[in-house]
Amino acid sequence: MTRVLVVGSGLAGLVAAVRATDAGHRVTLVTKAALSDSNTRYAQGGIAAALFPDDSTDAHILDTLRAGAGLCDPAAVRVLCEEGPARVRDLIRFGVDFDRDESGITRGLEAAHSRSRVLHAGGDATGAAIETALVATVQERAKRAHALGGDQITIHEHTMLVDLVLADTPGSPRVTGAILLGPGGAQHTVSADAVILATGGAGALYRHTTNPAIATGDGVAAAWRAGAAIADVEFYQFHPTALAVPGTPLVSEAVRGEGAVLLTSTGERFMPAIHPDAELAPRDIVARSIAAQMKKQGGAPVLLDATGLGRDLLESRFPTITAACRAAGLDWALVPIPVAPAAHYWMGGVATDGWGRASLSGLYAVGEVARTGAHGANRLASNSLLEAAVFADRAVRALGEPEQRPPLFDDIETDILAEFGNAADDAGTLVDRSTLQEQLWEAAGVHRSGSGLTRAAVTLAGWRAVDRAEATVAELETGNLLDLGRLIVTAALAREESRGAHHRADFPDSRPELARPRFTRRPSSLTRPLVTVPSQPSEAIAC
């Protein structure tokens, strides 16, 4: 029986845990907060899949490739779009109740999609509906195993990933477990035959984000420290429309899909002059256009005018956004609401093959923590939930196959990312999270430049984090954010072009010769000392 450690409880982690349990593996599921707390819970837009007679897998593939700005892995995109419909049907079997109308399942249109193919649940509460259904499914599996006297699946909440554990094996190192920080404040080690990272993104790197506070990039940072390959970390997607009030709640792209338009602070529509698809242009274009307009307005937010949709549609289709507006004292059925870009989704992360396998043996990554190549330089709207479900399923299927090193990683070379990401932690000024967030927002946000990135690189190199062996959860998170901030800034400096979500004022055009991903990892000589175990790992230690 394979011992599988799943880290994270969003859609990707929950699907992996359910699938692995059903496949007969022994599963330990750990999550940093409560089981239901994840980025998935906050997803509004929906999940995209070619499920309808007037749609096709090929059309979905083409839309995804267009949005990815020349950086998608075509094989990963085909897997995503071909297997997506089956995974959506799985979600329905797991209890997700997608919205329906007289024709069947309701579907919506979002930016850069050529068809209406986005499914929703609870109007704009799709993520919450998916999370609720999958949490119930996982808990049912755990309850059933317990009733039968077994521990086939064990769930540990409020348990944080500290670092990965490596075995001294011939050839390349193998991941054999993880160091965890439990709710009692003590670190302990859990052994496993396979570790599946499903820890989500790192929106907490930025001053303005639609992500919850728990999105601190723990999995990518741990994988990087262990020597796993990462890729395309410079590509962070900024959602064009977050409500410009404290907390920056998301205003789904589906609102513009229904017909809402963007206005200047004085009430003029500006997107039609920028792109033929206007408000439904790819996200990077809309986000940059809003940021540019805000600069013209002295920093004032732009306005999203949804008044033409009517109160009934707004309240029934978008109850979450309606509640957020009401909490901010806004009635969006009567007046346009202020919106601005905010960090939303990370296209880069732990490099994997089409089966979720990372470059280190025994390590898998699924969901936003992974860079599968399906999103390229700019994720197509509502493909994120789909990717989480598709590749989590594939990673578990790969557990039953003879392990092999993905050929994708045979020729990875270390570069300046490796050196820069290894800045010493025993020197310099102790990092302050809010200052770090400000640095990333200004230097590596919607608009970037070589001079701004260089200044940020120098500043970040002079900061240090708390010793991880004695750190609290908050200190561990801040250390992860510092590692990732350094990596993003350096990757953005190295990519001397503008492509997708990465835009450089000093290199405003795309360069065809740079239409390739950047894979990198730390050389073993620079990898931080981590816990290592003999090649025959001990039994799992209870959390």
Q: Is 49 a member of any domain?
A: no
Q: What is the mean pLDDT of residues 111-119?
A: 92
Closest CA to 288 of 116, 451, 69: 69
Contacts of 155 by beta carbon, 8 Å cutoff, 6+ apart? 29, 30, 31, 35, 138, 139, 142
Whether residue 424 is found in the same domain as residue 515: yes
pLDDT of residue 524: 64
Q: Is residue 248 part of a domain?
A: yes
Examine the domain organization and report whether 421 and 508 are in the same domain.
yes
pLDDT value at residue 542: 34
State the CATH number of the domain containing residue 478.
Answer: 1.20.58.100
Could you tell me if residue 225 is inside a domain?
no
Burial 455-469 (b: 16+ CB within 10 A, else e): ebbebbbebbbbebe
Q: Tell me, what CATH number does 333's domain have?
A: 3.90.700.10
Cα separation, 59 vs 115, whole angstroms: 8
Q: Which of 19, 41, 283, 499 is catalytic?
A: 283
Our answer to whether residue 283 is catalytic in this structure is yes
Query: Does 516 reside within a domain?
Result: yes
Tell me whether residue 486 is in a domain. yes
pLDDT of residue 150: 79
Distance CA 340, CA 23 (A): 45
Average pLDDT over residues 480-488: 97
* Cβ atoms 131, 36 nearer than 8 A: yes
CA distances from 29 to 158, 162, 511, 528 (A): 11, 15, 43, 26
The reported pLDDT for the residue numbered 407 is 62
Q: Which residue has the higher pLDDT, 539 or 90?
A: 90
How many domains does the chain divide into?
2
pLDDT tens across 281-305, in order?
988 899 999 999 999 999 999 999 9
Both tokens of 95, joined, read: 């209890």
| C-alpha triplet 249, 250, 253: angle, nearest 5° | 160
Structure tokens at 151: 């521990």
Do 421 and 511 lie in one domain? The reply is yes
pLDDT of residue 402: 73
Helix (H, G, I), strand (E, B) or coil at 337: strand
Q: Across the chain, what does the average pLDDT equal?
A: 91
In a domain, 57, yes or no: no
Residues in the chain: 543
| Domain ranges, residue 276 | 239-343
Give residue-wise pLDDT tens across range 489-543: 999 999 999 999 999 999 999 999 999 998 998 866 555 435 554 433 333 333 3
Q: Are residues 418 and 337 in the same domain?
A: no
Q: So what's the pLDDT on residue 238? A: 95
Domain end position, chosen among 296, 321, 343 = 343
C-alpha span between 469 and 451 (Å, rounded): 36
Report yes or no on 152 lying in a domain: no
Mean per-residue pLDDT for 99-113?
88
Q: What percent of the chain has pLDDT over 90?
A: 83
In a domain, 245, yes or no: yes
Alpha carbon distance 519, 325 (integer Å): 42
